[in-house]
Amino acid sequence: MATERKVLIFENSYSLANYLLKKWQELAQEAVSDHNQFNVALSGGRTPTEFYCRLSALGSYGLWQKTHLFCGDERFVASDHKDNNFRMIKANLINYIHIPPENVHPIRTDVENAAVAAELFKDELVGHFAYQRKTLPASRQVLPTFDLILLGIGEDGHTASLFPGMAHTADASIVTLPVSLPQLKHDRISLSLAVINNARYVIFLIQGMQKADIVRKILEENLICPAAQVNPANGQLIFLLNKEAAKKLSHPMTYIPGEDVISIKKI
Ligand code: 6PG
């Protein structure tokens, strides 16, 4: 079943972060009420840093005790390397919130190679989500079910570390995968498309003029690429765009007074 995609366009990154802060707390409350946990996979890259900073202001937010933070993908570099996603997430969020250390799940990169790291990441996910075996319909028992996955998008249509031309990304038996491509500075580890599409909510954060082309190609021209294959069969898919990233979409942007959102489009 094709997921209904919601596209929300914001005047600027501040109003986008306002919306996502409210959404985060709403989803956290919903998840904790349902299964006493809020399991989130965070995006890497530069776009989410402002949101992570804003979220860090919820330092003593009660639900951190039941929130589990994972990385959706990681570069296979040392944890203190400037390109390490978890390092960025710690610097902008984790260092400032009262979250139990056991609720923070970085992808280990202190092992032989990305394949070993991906295997350890898979083992941790399967172990953590084992509690769901009992509560989910059989069709959804195998794959971890995140309550929220935040994603970015590359100008080539990649998301997480799933890049155009990679094989097996949609294979439902794959939970995590190592990524080694000549065009990448570092090997990587990523959640699989199957796990991303098994989430309850998937939210893309996309900002900047440089993303306007890929946004139009995915939302209006049905380009085939990993980001366009994100389609959570049993979940909600939301694109949060600032005005620049939405610039080349062919629809009128009407400002809704009093709302953070300029325009909502159901595709
Ligand atoms: C990563 C991300 C990747 C990122 C996009 C967009 O590890 O880099 O997971 O998918 O979200 O490349 O990156 P920017 O936000 O820096 O444009």
What's the pLDDT at 231? 94
Among the atoms of ligand 1, which is closest to the Cα of residue 152? Answer: 11
Closest CA to 153 of 54, 245, 69, 28: 245
Cα separation, 99 vs 166, in Å, equals: 35
Could you tell me the distance, in angstroms and rounded to a whole number, from the CA of residue 155 to the centre of ligand 1? 10
Asked whether the predicted pLDDT for residue 142 surpasses 90, the reply is no
pTM of the predicted protein model: 0.94
What's the pLDDT at 178? 97
Asked whether the predicted pLDDT for residue 1 surpasses 50, the reply is no
Residue 258: pLDDT band with limits 50, 70, 90: low
To test the ligand 1 pocket, which listed residue (42, 47, 83, 205) has its Cβ within 8 A of the most ligand atoms? 47
Residue 190: pLDDT band with limits 50, 70, 90: very high
Verify whether ligand 1 is closer than 6 Å to residue 13 (CB atom): no
Could you tell me the distance, in angstroms and rounded to a whole number, from the CA of residue 100 to the centre of ligand 1? 27
Asked whether the predicted pLDDT for residue 265 surpasses 90, the reply is no
Contact 198, 41 (CB under 8 A): no
Asked whether the predicted pLDDT for residue 198 surpasses 60, the reply is yes
Verify whether ligand 1 is closer than 6 Å to residue 50 (CB atom): no
Beta strands in the chain (DSSP E): 5-10, 38-42, 67-71, 73-75, 104-105, 148-151, 176-179, 188-191, 201-206, 236-242, 261-266
User: pLDDT: is 9 or 252 the higher one?
Assistant: 9
Phi, psi torsion values for 41, nearest 5 degrees:
-105, 125
Model pLDDT for residues 3-61, shown as the tens digit of each residue: 668 899 998 999 999 999 999 999 999 999 999 999 999 999 999 999 999 999 987 77
Among the atoms of ligand 1, which is closest to the Cα of residue 45? Answer: 16
Verify whether ligand 1 is closer than 6 Å to residue 226 (CB atom): no
Task: Say what percent of the chain tops pLDDT 70.
Answer: 88
Sequence-separated (6 or more) residues with CB below 8 Å from residue 139: none
Could you tell me the distance, in angstroms and rounded to a whole number, from the CA of residue 144 to the centre of ligand 1? 22
